[in-house]
Amino acid sequence: MALQAAGLNNASFFSSSSQLHIHISAQDRPGILAEALAFIVQTGWNVVDIKQFVFNGLLNLSILLDGCDESLILSLREELSAYAEQMDFKVTVYPWKTATRPDAPYAYRSVVTLLCDSIPSSGFQEITRIFAGLDINILRIEQLDSGDVHALEFVIGTREAHSSEEVLDALVKFKEHYGVDIAVQEETYFRRNKRLIVLDADMTFLQCEVIDELGKLAGVGDKIAAITRQAVNGEMDFKSALLKRVQLLKGLPTEKLQQLSNSLPLTPGAESLVNILKYLGYKIALVSGGFQFFIDKIRDDYGLDYGVANQLKIENGKVSGELEGQIIDAEAKEKTLVALAEKEGFSLRQVVAVGDGANDIKMLARVGLGIAFNAKPLVQRHARASINQSNLKLILYFLGINGQELKELDEVVRGGKIQSWPA
């Protein structure tokens, strides 16, 4: 195919620009870049920038050049034209004005990750319209997965600072209309280097409220569940709600606690998430407003690093109706998270926190990635990420892991192929 040129016959080109942009599109195969560079090298031009990606088998290659004697442009054009004709490529050559390349373009960058069943064309139009309305440039779009879950990653940039909250606020209606889960994170090395995950237990790691289940065993299930709803929705102080519910459990035999601990339902994806993150070197903690009796068992059963919760007081083999020690409320959860990060030597920007209730808001807001998991609207408004599907493994997409990598990791941890790095 004939070479396409823009502006190269314009005499003013050399007075306004010292650079040349070459773009090649072709069916991908090994060696295309090497062949293109062979033509460029003989002209004396310097390669100052290169960008290449493959989309559905189509190679897109851009090369930025400068420093050439203008007399060699014609020969370069002729060589590339013949090359394009021979190889059935499309080649575009056009001048590039250095004035159009700011020294620090898009100094402020974020990553917006979308999780959904599918997004129609109207959805793509809507989200790009929202970004444009905020004067945000889309720098890159990558599809992380297109199987059972569609996962898309938008890298966006601005020349002036913008907050994650501003972007999230603008995406609220889009999120609700299309049923999309969204995470907004700063695009920094910390996003790609998370080291600690702190999870709430009840209705997050577990698919139940443990204290509600204890209430059923004690014959006061309705009373306890009503108080729980108020606490989770932020309608009642957590500490007061907890003490009221514990008092209602007075007299419950410890045998009932043991019975329940053996049948607690994990949230789908919880065990897989733990195994994969352990394999990747994460530290994993449960920090719960529930009870240490159950958290200890979960920690031991699944090899978690930490488990922190409230201590039920037991007297004569029965629940006394009181607690011992510190109450793990919102402030205690936040302090525990900070203490664990400090103990392990991690920045808070390297921490992921996951929870569903008002009791989790402070710890979600404190970390690099706070995820509201099947949470109430109040909690979602205070988190930079949300998942409204019952599968904890979806968190891995927010960490930048794509579908193919996820399959490989699943095979490794399921097949017992975990090995140390070779010496």
Which is the catalytic residue, given 145, 181, 200, 329? 200
- 202 labelled catalytic: yes
Write out the two tokens for 163.
């907050």
Looking at the DSSP bridge assignments, the partners of residue 109 are 157
Distance separating alpha carbons of residues 398 and 368, to the nearest angstrom = 12
What ranges make up the beta strands (E) of 56-149? 58-66, 90-96, 108-116, 137-146
Tokens for 368, please give them.
Answer: 């690099």
Strand 351-355 to 181-186 pairing: unpaired
Closest to 74 in 3D by CA, of 31, 15, 34, 14: 14
Helices (H), 206-291: 210-218, 221-232, 238-248, 254-261, 270-279
Q: Two tokens at 46?
A: 């310097």
Q: Please state at what angle helix 254-261 crosses helix 292-302, rounded to 10 degrees.
A: 30
**Using an 8 Å Cβ cutoff, are 155 and 138 in contact?**
yes
Residue 320 · residue 350 · CB < 8 Å: no
Return the SS3 of 379: helix
Residue 40 · residue 65 · CB < 8 Å: yes
| Distances, alpha carbon 76 to alpha carbons 38, 62, 80, in Å | 11, 16, 6
Q: Using alpha carbons, select from 357, 354, 340 the residue that is nearest to residue 385.
A: 354
| CA atoms of 245 and 249, how far apart (whole Å) | 7
The one catalytic residue in 181, 202, 212, 329 is: 202
The residue among 70, 90, 74 whose CA lies nearest residue 2 is: 90
Q: Which of 81, 44, 37 is nearest to 61 (CA)?
A: 37
Token duo for residue 285: 């903690």
Q: Select from 292, 303, 248 the least CA-distant residue to 270.
A: 303
Residue with tokens 């009791």: 359
Element (H, E) at 40: helix 32-41
How would you classify the pairing of strands 318-324 and 108-116?
A: unpaired
Tell me the catalytic residues.
200, 202
